[in-house]
Amino acid sequence: MKSLDQFINQYKPLVESRLKSAIAELEAPKALKDSMLYSLEAGGKRIRPLLLFATLEAFKCKPEIGLDAAAAIEMVHTYSLIHDDLPSMDDDDLRRGKPTNHKIYGEATAILAGDALLTHSFKMIGNISPETASADTKLVLINKLSEASGAEGMVGGQVADMEGEGKQLSLKELEYIHINKTGRLLTYSVLAGAELAEASEQVKDKLQVFAYHIGLAFQIRDDILDLEGTVEQIGKPVGSDTDNDKSTYPSLLTLEGAKKALQNHIDHAKQELVTTNLNTSILEQITDLIGLRTS
């Protein structure tokens, strides 16, 4: 059985090299290409591409057939981070320990690099070879990527997040934000693999439930990491209110409650996987990694 480490060591460099070649192939101004590549190469975990590859592996398909879709998803994710860091949004100077895109290339170029990454992601999928995916499959992939990343998905979740700032949200409102802002692109990564593998509707429904749980688990883990980071920085006891103006899982459920909710989502995700009767060892290991990740 392949270990997750072996899987990551094999497929992370593959998507990274495809991202690099995709930008090199563009006939566009050098400053724009540099700005796009800077954030693509700034050291992400590549969890979304890995989820897509692991889903293909679950169907005993070659993960390589998902390479361009995986690169497309990472482009959408990278665009969202570039825009999220802008002065008009979170106004962050650092991302993954490095200067944010606008700090290096200026705000206008950073906005345009994000726009270009988003737009190019759709072309990447449109250009998947006919041997790998039929025109119908590519249309489904493009449609679902648009839904997952746009007003009905990630962007909608981001706006709801902005509207919720400074307010005490209910758990339901917080879940709406995270299902859309974080969960939809993670879910798409799994479902894109299932589409490419020509999965039945029944199995796709199960994978959607699986992905729903890992999406929420990913965000709850993020909130816990943020809180534990904040606690380290300001020396407040774990679980105390950290004067953040955003509702989080720990602020609504307490740190202990958030840890329980995280474990619940991990357990549900794994239970759903078992019912698919697929070859899900790598997906299971990624699920555990999401629950335990430290960055």
Q: How far apart are CA 3 and CA 167, in angstroms?
A: 44
Q: Which of 50, 55, 83, 193 binds ligand GRG (CB under 6 A)?
A: 83
154 binds ligand GRG (CB under 6 A): yes
- Return the residue nearest ligand GRG (CB atom): 44
184 binds ligand GRG (CB under 6 A): no
CB of 126 to ligand GRG, least distance (A): 21
CB of 259 to ligand GRG, least distance (A): 17
In the bound state with ligand GRG, the residue whose beta carbon lies nearer, of 149 and 276, is 149
Q: Which two tokens stand for residue 42?
A: 């700034």
- Sequence-distant (6+) residues with CB within 8 A of 159 are none
CB of 83 to ligand GRG, least distance (A): 4
Instruction: Lay out the site mask for ligand GRG across 188-227 (x = CB under 6 A, - = otherwise).
Output: ----------------------------------x-----
In the bound state with ligand GRG, the residue whose beta carbon lies nearer, of 262 and 278, is 262
Query: How far is C-alpha 213 from the chain's CA centre?
Result: 13
Q: How far apart are CA 230 and CA 236, in angstroms?
A: 8
Q: If DSSP codes are grouped into helix, strand and coil, which group holds residue 96? A: coil
In the bound state with ligand GRG, the residue whose beta carbon lies nearer, of 133 and 148, is 148
Instruction: Lay out the site mask for ligand GRG across 40-69 (x = CB under 6 A, - = otherwise).
Output: ----xx-x----------------------
Q: How far apart are CA 104 and CA 292, in angstroms?
A: 33
Q: Which of 182, 189, 276, 285 binds ligand GRG (CB under 6 A)?
A: 182
Closest CA to 77 of 109, 106, 55, 44: 44
Q: If DSSP codes are grouped into helix, strand and coil, which group holds residue 95? A: strand
Using an 8 Å Cβ cutoff, are 90 and 164 in contact?
A: no
Taking the CA atoms of 283, 287, 289 and 290 in sequence, report the sign of the dihedral they define.
positive
Q: Which stretch binds ligand GRG (CB under 6 A): 80-88, 129-137, 195-203, 244-252?
A: 80-88
Locate tokens 């250009």: which residue? 127
Q: If DSSP codes are grouped into helix, strand and coil, which group holds residue 94? A: strand
CB of 131 to ligand GRG, least distance (A): 30
What DSSP state is assigned to residue 99? E
Q: Which of 8, 58, 81, 214 binds ligand GRG (CB under 6 A)?
A: 81
Binding residues for ligand GRG, rule: CB under 6 A, are 44-45, 47, 80-81, 83-84, 89, 96, 154-155, 158, 181-182, 222
